[in-house]
């Protein structure tokens, strides 16, 4: 995920800078080795916070090795499933970045429920899923499930690319309960 060619084709900072501001509190769910985490942390700066979560302990270890002194108080890295982010308080996240997250896990409902729980009423979430999957892969997010997920949010933008579906969403109703599960 974190290689020279990818940095040329899809610069991480360019992708996230549209959504992240200095001082923001961000959750990078399915962060891997930190390809997007480090640029997000650089943008939010000392006044912000980035919760970086991945279920793979090796990825979290690689991320921790990349965190320099200037970002050690900004990034909080955890080995955890996106379906169980108890270390993040209700309605405290300005931006959730879940790029390719759902198609790498089984509990889609749990992850979407947690995103809704942690997202501020004014917050945004970026969700994307792969369009390529094996028909017998239980982690896959098929078209009908993707549409169902989006119905649970107010969709600000949506994109259909050759390799993935993506959307920028917010909570549907300002009064949406923080404990609401999909």
> What is the tens place of the pLDDT at every residue in 107-130?
999 999 999 999 999 999 999 987
* 181 domain-assigned: no
Across 135-145, average pLDDT:
77
pLDDT of residue 176: 47
More confident residue, 13 or 29: 29
DSSP type of residue 111: H
Position 181 pLDDT exceeds 50: no
| 155/8: higher pLDDT | 155
pTM of the full structure: 0.87
| pLDDT over 90, % of the chain | 66
pLDDT at position 145 is 86
Cβ(98)–Cβ(125) under 8 Å?
yes
Task: State the CATH number of the domain containing residue 127.
Answer: 3.40.50.150
| Cα–Cα distance measured from residue 88 to residue 77, given in angstroms and rounded to the nearest whole number | 11
Would residue 104 count as lying in a domain? yes
Burial of 99: CB neighbours in 10 Å, binned 0-12, 13-18, 19+: buried
Establish if 182 belongs to a structural domain: no
In a domain, 145, yes or no: yes
Establish if 166 belongs to a structural domain.
Answer: yes
pLDDT of residue 6: 53
Cβ within 8 Å of residue 154, ≥6 positions away? 169, 170, 171, 172
By mean pLDDT, which of 113-117, 163-167, 168-172 is the weakest?
Answer: 163-167
The backbone torsions φ and ψ at residue 62, rounded to the nearest 5 degrees and listed phi first, read -60, -40
Mean pLDDT of the chain: 88
Mean pLDDT value across residues 44-62:
97
Name the domain count of the chain.
1
In a domain, 177, yes or no: no
Residues 6+ apart with CB under 8 A from 27: 50, 51, 53, 85, 88, 93, 95, 96, 97, 115, 118
Structural domain range at position 157:
4-171
With cut-offs at 50, 70 and 90, classify the pLDDT of residue 173.
confident
Instruction: State the DSSP H helix or E strand holding residue 164, giving kind and residue range, or none if neither.
Output: strand 164-171
Of all residues in the chain, what percent are helix, strand and coil, respectively (each to 5)? 30, 30, 45
77: which strand partners?
52
How many C-beta neighbours within 10 Å does residue 27 have?
Answer: 28
Q: Is position 106 within any domain?
A: yes
On whether residue 178 sits in a domain, the answer given is no
pLDDT at 180: 37
């Amino acid at each position: 995920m974190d290689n020279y060619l990818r940095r040329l084709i899809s610069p991480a900072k360019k992708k996230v800078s549209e959504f992240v501001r200095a001082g923001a509190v961000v959750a990078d769910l399915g962060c891997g080795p930190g390809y997007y985490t480090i640029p997000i942390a650089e943008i939010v700066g000392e006044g912000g916070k980035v919760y970086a979560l991945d279920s793979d302990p090796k990825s979290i270890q690689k991320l921790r090795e990349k965190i320099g002194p200037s970002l050690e108080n900004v990034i909080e890295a955890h080995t955890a499933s996106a379906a169980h982010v108890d270390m993040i308080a209700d309605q405290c996240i300005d931006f959730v970045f879940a790029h390719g997250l759902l198609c790498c896990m089984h509990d889609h409902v749990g992850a979407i429920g947690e995103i809704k729980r942690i997202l501020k009423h004014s917050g945004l979430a970026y969700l994307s899923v792969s369009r390529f999957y094996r028909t017998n892969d239980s982690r896959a997010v098929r078209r009908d499930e993707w549409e169902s997920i989006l119905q649970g949010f107010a969709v600000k933008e949506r994109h259909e690319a050759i390799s993935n579906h993506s959307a920028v969403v917010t909570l549907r109703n300002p009064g949406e309960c923080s404990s609401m599960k999909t």
